[in-house]
Structure 1
Amino acid sequence: MPTTAIRLQLKPGQKVTLQPVSWQGFEEIMTDLGERRSSRIAYANGIMEIMTPLPEHERAKISLADWVKTLLRIQKRRWEPLGSTTFKREDMAAGIEPDECFYIQNYKAVIGKERLDLTVDPPPDLAIETDLTSKTELAAYEALRVPEVWIYERGNLKINVLQGNSYVESQDSPTFPNIAVVEIIPEFMQRVREVGVSQALEEFEIFMGEIIKK
């Protein structure tokens, strides 16, 4: 039976919610939307959300990703960034496209891979969202068992750590223990607004370098 192609013209900041959506329906919609698009998706509990980020969210996610990369480099750790890769599992009936994500502890598992199968491959160690506004997105992360999700919005950072089958908000990041991430990132993001990304990162690198030496 022929299906009707999805033709969505979402303005920045808009979101469409579709429900109920079966796994087959989710896959068909993803095919219709294609890979070259500005929108992102979240799917869990039979609910599919299609959203288009605002420009300020794009700037925020890039800045946060640069912060993470800089800190990992200072700590001399390896990582693989996978950006807004589509992560999905049919057996969990869930799918998500993070703003940014990183493989750190499990970076070796994804080196050189163009397609991931989460029934075999691990989920990203850290996902970043700059404006997570729905339970569907967090439910998708829980189903896919992403260990740590950062949510940055309105100048604050929330760290969600997976414990059992659900997230618990934490003041500490398992990925960066002994670093006051929830305090440093808002200060860094404020500095980005004042002097721009490159200078803020340069100042941050000097600051963190001194801390790590101690």
Structure 2
Amino acid sequence: MGSAKASGQVLEAGASDPKPTFAPQEKYGSFERKVVLERLIWYLGYSPQEGFSCSQRASRSFVIPIMAKLETIVAEFRARLEKNRCDDGLSLQNFPSGACGDASILLAHHLAENGFGTYRYICGRHGDASHVWLSDGEVIIDITADQFDDFNHPVFIAAASPWHDALKGEDQHEATLSVWGSNWEARYLATYEALVGGSDNEVGQ
């Protein structure tokens, strides 16, 4: 799937080549936003008998805007990656195909830059293929799963996902630019700056 770097290998920090790519299993309906909001509202302490307290109602008023902001930021970043045509030394040229590892690292950095904290790099397998997505332990974020024929969501944000469960993903490490050493960090930073800080021409438009 793509270059040798995107052939399903997971390198140790500091290694100079490959990382993961990934596979699928079944189609989804449009329940993702509902699941996320219901899960977050439950965390806020909603009681079917008593409803929300005043403080909980105030908290709930922030949940939906925050989730909307998250969806917007992730979707806009995906759109940037779709336009990217830079020869950046990563695996993004055929995005989303073979790009899950690098795209997830870059997205995690972007989310941190926008105040959404840190995410973990989750790697799962199906057969002889692999796939990477992000999770903070509560929410799954995946912007490359639609490279597979049996997954049709370009931007997937949910509290639960049978498709991802089937891949038996394992938490590899924090999704950070420096995870594979300084050489990879420099490549990631250059690509991130071109994607987010540069002009449209720099991302290949």
TM-score under structure 1 length normalisation: 0.31
Q: Larger % of helix: which?
A: 2
Q: Larger % of strand: which?
A: 1
TM-score under structure 2 length normalisation: 0.32
